[in-house]
């Protein structure tokens, strides 16, 4: 993980734990434009600080979807989902798109 800069003194701080993640998602298609991750960090001069880092994909969503739909299940998913549904799931697993609750429910029902 790359270093962060303390907003109080400008020194490099090392992030320890991610606290939160905010993602900017487009409404019509659910595309993730960027994510802002908040980390606890320890600055040698200032002590504990909360620092943010902007990224290009949603990492928490990716982690959760990879648990729900592991790589070993992808061939089964590909066979049961339409091309459009599978493409959206694949993009969501990569953190590039956000699935609606309805889309997630449909996918879960199709693999049961």
Q: How many CB atoms lie within 10 A of CB 33?
A: 10
Structural contact between residues 25 and 62, judged by C-beta atoms closer than 8 angstroms: no
Do 48 and 71 lie in one domain? The reply is no
**pTM of full prediction above 0.85:** no
- The Cα 28–Cα 7 span in angstroms is 35
Q: What confidence tens digit (pLDDT) does each residue in 85-109 have?
A: 999 999 999 999 999 999 999 999 9
Structure tokens belonging to residue 24:
């900017």
The boundaries of the domain holding residue 26 are: 4-55
Q: What confidence tens digit (pLDDT) does each residue in 25-63 have?
A: 999 899 999 999 999 999 999 999 999 999 989 999 999
Q: How many structural domains compose the chain?
A: 2
Beta strand ranges found along 1-112 (DSSP E): 4-5, 12-25, 32-43, 47-55
Do 47 and 8 lie in one domain? The reply is yes
């Amino acid at each position: 993980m790359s270093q962060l800069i303390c907003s109080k003194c400008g020194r490099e701080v090392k992030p320890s734990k991610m606290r939160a993640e905010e993602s900017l998602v487009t409404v019509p298609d659910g595309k993730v434009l960027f994510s802002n991750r908040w980390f606890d960090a320890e600055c040698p001069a200032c002590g504990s600080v909360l620092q943010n880092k902007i990224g290009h994909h949603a990492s928490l969503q990716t982690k959760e979807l990879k648990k729900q739909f592991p790589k070993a299940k992808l061939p089964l998913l590909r066979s049961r989902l339409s091309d459009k549904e599978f493409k959206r799931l694949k993009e969501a697993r990569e953190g590039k798109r956000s699935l609606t609750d309805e889309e997630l429910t449909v996918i879960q029902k199709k693999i049961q």
